[in-house]
Amino acid sequence: MLQRRLKNWKLPFSETVVDMLVKEFKLENSLQLYHQISTEKIDMADVKHFLVTKFEGMSDKSEKSVPELVESRKDNIVESEESLSIGEDIDNVTYKLAKCCNPIPGDKVFGFVTNEGTISIHRINCPNAKSMQQRYGYRIINVKWNGIENEGSQATIRIYGRDVLGLLGKITKIISEDLQVNMKNIVFNSDKEGYFDGRIVLQIADVEALEQLMTKIKSIEGVMEVVRID
């Protein structure tokens, strides 16, 4: 809504402009600004009056033209000081973990503001990340994990190696003995050449617990590769 209005008023949509509005309306961050605009707690007429006056004032004070304030985003999403903290009680903000990439606590993530106004949390290497950045860069926000109490997020790992006798039992034993992990589903297939390809769906506390489990599985004789696939 804000971007569309600024375009109609022939004003730039940029981090600089957003910061000016955040300060003018005495808010803490851009997330609060967007929410108050969407809920009409901030009148767009007031936004227009402030910005038009501000830009006219900038032009009057200098013979030079007002500098172009076009927002530039890098391909990689990096964490800034202004971030939505996942796990904190933030008024009027609803977030959900995206099913397309299944982020778990500890993953590097970003937020995407959906049409419904909720924040969808994605891993930065999500298959949809590049498309969202290119098409809807203005909806991307920085997020970070902040001491979230997690009952268990889902992650899937792929295991490949030689089909050694008793190997499947060793893998399931390691998982069953890990108190931070629950196995939800397991599928293993072997070929005629004596190699297997397996996928295990896990319920796991965080990315650190997942990495520790993968390291243990890699140490089993016959296992050649262990990777997270979602």
Asked whether the predicted pLDDT for residue 123 surpasses 80, the reply is yes
- Extents of the domains making up the chain: 2-61, 84-145, 153-228
Work out the average pLDDT over 125-138.
84
- Please, which residues bridge with residue 158 across strands? 199, 227
Work out the average pLDDT over 102-106.
87
Name the DSSP class of 167: H
pLDDT of residue 116: 76
Q: How confident is the model at residue 72 (pLDDT cuts 50, 70, 90)?
A: very low
Work out the average pLDDT over 164-184.
88
pLDDT of residue 222: 92
Q: For residue range 179-207, what is the model confidence (pLDDT) as tens digits? A: 778 888 999 998 888 899 999 999 888 88
- What three-state secondary structure class fits 102? coil
- DSSP β-ladder status, 84-86 and 153-162: unpaired
Phi, psi of 227 (to 5 degrees): -135, 150
Q: Which two tokens stand for residue 154?
A: 């889902």
Cα distance between residue 106 and residue 86, in whole Å? 11
pLDDT of residue 224: 93
Q: How confident is the model at residue 122 (pLDDT cuts 50, 70, 90)?
A: very high
pLDDT of residue 226: 93
Q: For residue range 53-71, what is the model confidence (pLDDT) as tens digits? A: 877 765 444 433 333 333 3
CATH number at 153-228: 3.30.70.260
pTM of the full predicted structure?
0.54
pLDDT of residue 75: 41
Name the DSSP class of 65: P
Q: Which two tokens stand for residue 34?
A: 């967007």
Asked whether the predicted pLDDT for residue 127 surpasses 50, the reply is yes
Q: How confident is the model at residue 151 (pLDDT cuts 50, 70, 90)?
A: low
Number of Cβ within 10 Å of residue 44's Cβ equals 13
Q: How confident is the model at residue 89 (pLDDT cuts 50, 70, 90)?
A: very low
